[in-house]
C-alpha cells in the first residue's frame, strides 16, 4: 500500500481508539504530514525500533509495539517449544508511554504462549541484560529511547546471551513485520488474565539484589574509598531516569558517605523538564549539578542517561571549575585505573584483554599495550563487543577486563552484555576516590596520562540529514565517497582507504589492495599521513552521518589544531 492507503487503513481500523482516530482526522488535509507518518514502517534493525511517538505506521505507538512483538514472538516460536518455554524478560524506562508499551508487549508474548518476566517498575537497561542471563530467558525487550529527546521512544530487543539481537534474528523479525498486517495478525490478551494464568510474572527487589550483588563484585579496591570517605564528595544526577534508585544505593555499598543527588532531577519525568536533552554528552545538562558541586566543594559529578546504560562525568579542574570529559577520555582513565587496581590487589586475570570499537580513541590501545594487555577492535555497538568477549573467553584466548565505546558506554564483568551505567558509576567513583587519596583530581590524572602515553584528541561530528530525503542523502554521501575516495583530508595526504563493508584496505599511493579482520559494516576509514584516522558512517538509529576524528599530536594544542582542520573537511561533506 502507498502512504495514502496506509492512512485510510489505520483511520478505518477498529483497533484505534477515538482519541487516535481524532489525531489522524486532524491531519486529513496535510499531505506532507500523512506521508511522514505512513510512507513506511519504522525500520527494525539489530537495535530494534526507535522513533517519535504518535499515531501512524512510522511512529512509536501501541499498535507498532504490538506488531513488532508479534513478529518477534513468531521468531522465538520458530526456535522450538523448549526455547519458547524459557520465556522473555521485559523492561522499560522513564519515558512517556514506556510502561504502557511494555505491558502491551508482555500481553502479546503471553497470548502467543511465551511466558514473560516483567519488571514491576522502571529499571536500568543493564538490569534487563542481567535478568535474561540470570533467569535463562530466550530473549528480552526493553522499551527505551536511551538519551534521545522526549518526543522519542524505542523498542530494544535482546537474545539469550543478554546482548542486543544478532543480525540474523533482527532480519527475521523485520521480514515477519513486512509479512504481518499491523492489526489483523496480532495476538494479545488481557493483562490481569495473563498474570492470573502465570504467563506474566513480575520481577522486583529480588532481582535488584541479585543484580547489585554482581555489580559490587566488580569493586577492586574498596579500601581506597574508605580512606577518603569522610571528606570525598560527589554529585549525582539520573536526568529524571532509571538510575535514580540503584546507582545511589550501589555507591552507598561502595562506602561513599557523601553522594549528593540533584533533587530536581531525581524526579522521574519523561518530559525531562530541567534539560533540553537528557544526554550526559551535553555539558549544559549538568548546570544544576555544577551549582551544587561548587557550593558543596565536590570532587566530581556523575550523570546517567534516562535508561542508565550510559554515564558521563564532569571533573574539578582544580580552580573550582568543572569540565566535561569525553567518553574517550573517561574510558582511557578507567582502563588505566583498572589495570593498576587489578595489579595492585591481585585481581588481574591471565591473558587480560581490553575491547573498544573502531571509532574509539587509539589512546586506549596504547594504554593497553604499554601495560601488557591485548586490545581488539569491534564494530560500533555493544552487541559486537559482547560477541568478541564471548569468543575470546570461550576459546581461552583472553579474559576481557573492560569494554567501551566513545559514546559514554562501558561494560565490566560477565553478568551483563550491554552498556552498564550502574557498574561504571561504581568503578568511576572508586577511581576518583583513589586519585583523591593521592591528592589528585581526575583532571590531574588525565593530564598525567597524556604525559605518559602521548597526546590524543577526538571529535565526533553529526551531519544531520532530516526529512524524507534524508536517507537518500546519507546513501548518496557514502556512495560518492566510495566512488571518489579523498586523496587528502584538510590538507593532509591520505595514506590508506579502508572500507569495512568488504574489509578492504587500499594503499592510496600505489593502489595495492589487502584485507583486514573486520568486514560487513557500512563504514569508511581514512588513515592520514600524520597518524590521524577519519571515520565516516551513517547512524543506525537517527537521520545523520557520523564523522569521527581520531588525532594524535605532539601536545594538546597540536591535537586541537588537527581536529579543527579535519572538522572543516567533515562539514564540507554536507554540501
pLDDT at 282 exceeding the cut of 90: no
Work out the number of other CB atoms within 10 angstroms of the CB of residue 555: 12
| Residue carrying the nine cell digits 594524535 | 552
Classify the phi-psi angles of 239: left when phi > 0, otherwise alpha if psi is within -120 to 50, otherwise beta: left
Provide mean pLDDT across the span 32-44.
94
pLDDT for 46 equals 79
pLDDT at 80 exceeding the cut of 90: yes
- Residue (of 143, 204, 183) closest to 15 by Cα position: 183
| DSSP state string for 170-194 | HHHHHHHHHHS-TTTT-----HHHH
Listed by start position, the domains of the chain span 40-208, 228-453, 455-572
pLDDT for 469 equals 82
CATH class, domain 455-572, is alpha beta
Checking 479-482 for CB contacts under 8 A at 24+ apart, the result is: 481/524, 481/536, 481/573, 482/524
In angstroms, the CA 270 to CA 281 distance is 18
Provide mean pLDDT across the span 198-218.
98
> For the chain, how are helix, strand and coil distributed in percent, rounded to 5?
40, 20, 35
Provide mean pLDDT across the span 253-260.
98
Percentage of the chain modeled with pLDDT above 70? 100
> For 40-208, CATH number?
3.40.120.10
| 205 Cα distance to chain centroid | 25
pTM summary value: 0.95
- Residue (of 132, 84, 151) closest to 142 by Cα position: 132
Is the Cβ–Cβ distance between 230 and 252 less than 8 Å? no
Which one-letter DSSP state was computed for residue 283?
A: G
Average pLDDT score, the chain: 96
pLDDT for 542 equals 75
Provide mean pLDDT across the span 135-159.
96
pLDDT for 543 equals 82
In angstroms, the CA 17 to CA 22 distance is 9
Identify the band that residue 364 occupies on the pLDDT scale cut at 50, 70 and 90. very high
pLDDT for 281 equals 87
pLDDT for 44 equals 92
**Fold of the domain spanning 228-453:** Alpha-D-Glucose-1,6-Bisphosphate; Chain A, domain 3 (3.40.120)
Q: If DSSP codes are grouped into helix, strand and coil, which group holds residue 160?
A: coil
pLDDT at 393 exceeding the cut of 80: yes
pLDDT at 540 exceeding the cut of 80: no
pLDDT for 539 equals 84
With b for 16 or more beta-carbon neighbours within 10 A and e for fewer, the 412-451 pattern comes to bbbbbbbbbbbbbbbbbbbbbbbbbbeebbbbebbeebbe
| Residue carrying the nine cell digits 605518559 | 452
- Residue (of 517, 47, 519) closest to 309 by Cα position: 47
Lowest model confidence (mean pLDDT) among 44-58, 415-429, 462-476, 477-491:
462-476
What are the φ/ψ torsions at residue 39 (nearest 5 degrees)?
-70, -20
Is the Cβ–Cβ distance between 301 and 290 less than 8 Å? yes
pLDDT at 467 exceeding the cut of 80: no
Question: Which tens digit of pLDDT belongs to each residue from 11-20?
Answer: 999 999 999 9
Identify the band that residue 277 occupies on the pLDDT scale cut at 50, 70 and 90. confident
User: Which H or E run includes 520?
Assistant: none
pLDDT for 357 equals 97
315 DSSP β-pair partners: 300, 323
Provide mean pLDDT across the span 327-350.
98
Lowest model confidence (mean pLDDT) among 44-53, 241-250, 293-302:
44-53
- Residue (of 402, 415, 359, 71) closest to 220 by Cα position: 402
Identify the band that residue 318 occupies on the pLDDT scale cut at 50, 70 and 90. confident
pLDDT for 203 equals 98
Provide mean pLDDT across the span 387-410.
97
In angstroms, the CA 479 to CA 223 distance is 55
* Topology alike, domains 40-208 and 228-453: yes
Provide mean pLDDT across the span 46-56.
93
Q: Active-site residue 98, yes or no? A: no
Where do runs of H (alpha helix) occur along 53-203?
Answer: 62-77, 81-85, 98-111, 125-134, 167-179, 191-196
3 is written with which cell numbers?
A: 502512504
- Residue (of 410, 399, 394) closest to 352 by Cα position: 399
User: Which H or E run includes 269?
Assistant: none
Exposure of 385 in the CB half-sphere (CA atoms within 13 A): 30
In angstroms, the CA 226 to CA 224 distance is 6
Q: What is the CA radius of gyration of the chain?
A: 24
In angstroms, the CA 239 to CA 262 distance is 9
- Residue (of 353, 360, 286, 288) closest to 535 by Cα position: 360
pLDDT at 45 exceeding the cut of 90: no
- Residue (of 514, 550, 507, 504) closest to 366 by Cα position: 550
Question: Which tens digit of pLDDT belongs to each residue from 293-314?
Answer: 999 999 999 999 999 999 999 9
In angstroms, the CA 122 to CA 143 distance is 10
Provide mean pLDDT across the span 349-370.
97
217 is written with which cell numbers?
A: 563484585
Provide mean pLDDT across the span 140-166.
95
In angstroms, the CA 284 to CA 321 distance is 14
Is the Cβ–Cβ distance between 37 and 7 less than 8 Å? yes
With b for 16 or more beta-carbon neighbours within 10 A and e for fewer, the 51-67 pattern comes to bbbbbbbbbbbbbbbbb
Provide mean pLDDT across the span 162-191.
95
Which one-letter DSSP state was computed for residue 320?
A: S
Which residue out of 36, 98, 129, 146 is catalytically annotated?
146
Work out the number of other CB atoms within 10 angstroms of the CB of residue 193: 13
In angstroms, the CA 197 to CA 382 distance is 36
| Residue carrying the nine cell digits 568543572 | 322
Question: Which tens digit of pLDDT belongs to each residue from 496-534?
Answer: 999 999 999 999 999 999 999 999 999 999 999 999 999
In angstroms, the CA 237 to CA 269 distance is 13
pLDDT for 147 equals 87
Amino acid at each position: 500500500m502507498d502512504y495514502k492507503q496506509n492512512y485510510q487503513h489505520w483511520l478505518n481500523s477498529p483497533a484505534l481508539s477515538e482519541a487516535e482516530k481524532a489525531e489522524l482526522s486532524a491531519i486529513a488535509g496535510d499531505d506532507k504530514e500523512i506521508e511522514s507518518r505512513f510512507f513506511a514502517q519504522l525500520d527494525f534493525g539489530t537495535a530494534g525500533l526507535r522513533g517519535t511517538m504518535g499515531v501512524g505506521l512510522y511512529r512509536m505507538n501501541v499498535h507498532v509495539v504490538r506488531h513488532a512483538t508479534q513478529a518477534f514472538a513468531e521468531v522465538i516460536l520458530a526456535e522450538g517449544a523448549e526455547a519458547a518455554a524459557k520465556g522473555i524478560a521485559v523492561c522499560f524506562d522513564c519515558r512517556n508511554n514506556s510502561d504502557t508499551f511494555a505491558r502491551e508487549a508482555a500481553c502479546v508474548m503471553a497470548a502467543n504462549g511465551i511466558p514473560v518476566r516483567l519488571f514491576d517498575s522502571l529499571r536500568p537497561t543493564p538490569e534487563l541484560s542481567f535478568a535474561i542471563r540470570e533467569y535463562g530467558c530466550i530473549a528480552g525487550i526493553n522499551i527505551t529511547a536511551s538519551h534521545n529527546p522526549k518526543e522519542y521512544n524505542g523498542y530494544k530487543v535482546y537474545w539469550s546471551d543478554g546482548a542486543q539481537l544478532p543480525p540474523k534474528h533482527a532480519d527475521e523479525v523485520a521480514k515477519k513485520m513486512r509479512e504481518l498486517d499491523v492489526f489483523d495478525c496480532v495476538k494479545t490478551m488481557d493483562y490481569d488474565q495473563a498474570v492470573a494464568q502465570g504467563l506474566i510474572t513480575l520481577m522486583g527487589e529480588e532481582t535488584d539484589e541479585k543484580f547489585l550483588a554482581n555489580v559490587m563484585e566488580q569493586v577492586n579496591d574498596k579500601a581506597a574509598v574508605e580512606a577518603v570517605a569522610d571528606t570525598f564528595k560527589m554529585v549525582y544526577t539520573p536526568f529524571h531516569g532509571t538510575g535514580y534508585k540503584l546507582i545511589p544505593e550501589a555507591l552507598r555499598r561502595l562506602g561513599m558517605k557523601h553522594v549528593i543527588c540533584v533533587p530536581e532531577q531525581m524526579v522521574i519525568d519523561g518530559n525531562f523538564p530541567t534539560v533540553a536533552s537528557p544526554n550526559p554528552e551535553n555539558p549544559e545538562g549538568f548546570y544544576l549539578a555544577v551549582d551544587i558541586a561548587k557550593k558543596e566543594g565536590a570532587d566530581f559529578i556523575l550523570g546517567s542517561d534516562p535508561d542508565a546504560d550510559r554515564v558521563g562525568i564532569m571533573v574539578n579542574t582544580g580552580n573550582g571549575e568543572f569540565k566535561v570529559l569525553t567518553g574517550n577520555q573517561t574510558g582511557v582513565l578507567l582502563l588505566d585505573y583498572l589495570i593498576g587496581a587489578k595489579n595492585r590487589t591481585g585481581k588481574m586475570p591471565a591473558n587480560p584483554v581490553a575491547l573498544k570499537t573502531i571509532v574509539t580513541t587509539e589512546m586506549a590501545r596504547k594504554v593497553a599495550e604499554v601495560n601488557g594487555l591485548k586490545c581488539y577492535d569491534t564494530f560500533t555497538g555493544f552487541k559486537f563487543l559482547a560477541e568478541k568477549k564471548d569468543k575470546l573467553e570461550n576459546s581461552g584466548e583472553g579474559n576481557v577486563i573492560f569494554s567501551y565505546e566513545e559514546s559514554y558506554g562501558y561494560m565490566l564483568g560477565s553478568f551483563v552484555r550491554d552498556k552498564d551505567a550502574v557498574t561504571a558509576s561504581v568503578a568511576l567513583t572508586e577511581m576518583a576516590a583513589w586519585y583523591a587519596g593521592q591528592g589528585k583530581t581526575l583532571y590531574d590524572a588525565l593530564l598525567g596520562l597524556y604525559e605518559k602515553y602521548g597526546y590524543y584528541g577526538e571529535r565526533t561530528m553529526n551531519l544531520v540529514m532530516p526529512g524524507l530525503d534524508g536517507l537518500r542523502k546519507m546513501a548518496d554521501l557514502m556512495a560518492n565517497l566510495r566512488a571518489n575516495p579523498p586523496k587528502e583530508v584538510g590538507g593532509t595526504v591520505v595514506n590508506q582507504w579502508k572500507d569495512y563493508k568488504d574489509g578492504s584496505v587500499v594503499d592510496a599511493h600505489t593502489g595495492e589492495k589487502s584485507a583486514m579482520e573486520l568486514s560487513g559494516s557500512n563504514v569508511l576509514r581514512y588513515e592520514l599521513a600524520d597518524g590521524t584516522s577519519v571515520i565516516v558512517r551513517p547512524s543506525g538509529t537517527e537521520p545523520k552521518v557520523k564523522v569521527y576524528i581520531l588525532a594524535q599530536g605532539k601536545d594538546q594544542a597540536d591535537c586541537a589544531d588537527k581536529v579543527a582542520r579535519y572538522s572543516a573537511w567533515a562539514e564540507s561533506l554536507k554540501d
